Amino acid sequence: MRRRQNIPLTLPPVPPPAPPADPLVPTVSDPADVEREAALARLFELHYASMLRLAVLLGADDPENVVAEAYYQIYRKWRRLRETGAAEAYLRSTVCNLTRMRIRHLQVARRHVENPPEEVIASAESTALLHDDQRVLIDALQQLPARQREALVLRHWLGLKESEIAAAMGISCGSVKTHTSRGIAALSKAMEARR
């Protein structure tokens, strides 16, 4: 019988563990990705608040999620943008479309609920911040059809030109004029009735 010799095993030195990566800082190696990340960060800083207000004025029930989804979509499609200067217009158009889809979804969902809510009630905080005339205007604006509300918000709140509104809404300039004039007429009538 052979005896086993006790040969000491030597293991290679274990390298020290790498410091944990910061989960909030993306690891990017491609220069195009670095540029995209920087451009999106600038876009977020410059336009997040205005896009959030746009979603609120268009009637989104969850404006933060709508805007977050819009930024996610522009992030995914960044390389397909023809010009990075068009990112703001693309973002605005995406917020309009997502808000419209969300409202449509809620209308369908409410039709299928056995006991639909009587009325949507604004939060106490948002109501307290509004003056009486602002409340009347916001209530009247919420009663308008979606396209009229969108056209008015984009024209009078954002101050966009008809061609920019048409691009954001995906309609012709003539339709923008029609929706805007009908919306103004309906708002005027509603404001007069409430005085």
Mean pLDDT, range 56-69, rounded to an integer: 87
Summarised one tens digit per residue, pLDDT across range 126-155 is 555 556 667 777 778 888 888 888 898 888
pTM summary value: 0.59
Closest CA to 57 of 107, 116, 110, 130: 130
Max avg pLDDT among 11-15, 133-137, 168-172: 168-172
| Residue 71 pLDDT level (bands cut at 50, 70, 90) | very high
What is the crossing angle of helices 31-57 and 63-76, to 10°? Answer: 150
Summarised one tens digit per residue, pLDDT across range 21-50 is 665 555 556 777 788 888 888 989 999 988
Summarised one tens digit per residue, pLDDT across range 77-118 is 888 877 777 888 889 999 999 998 888 887 787 777 766 556
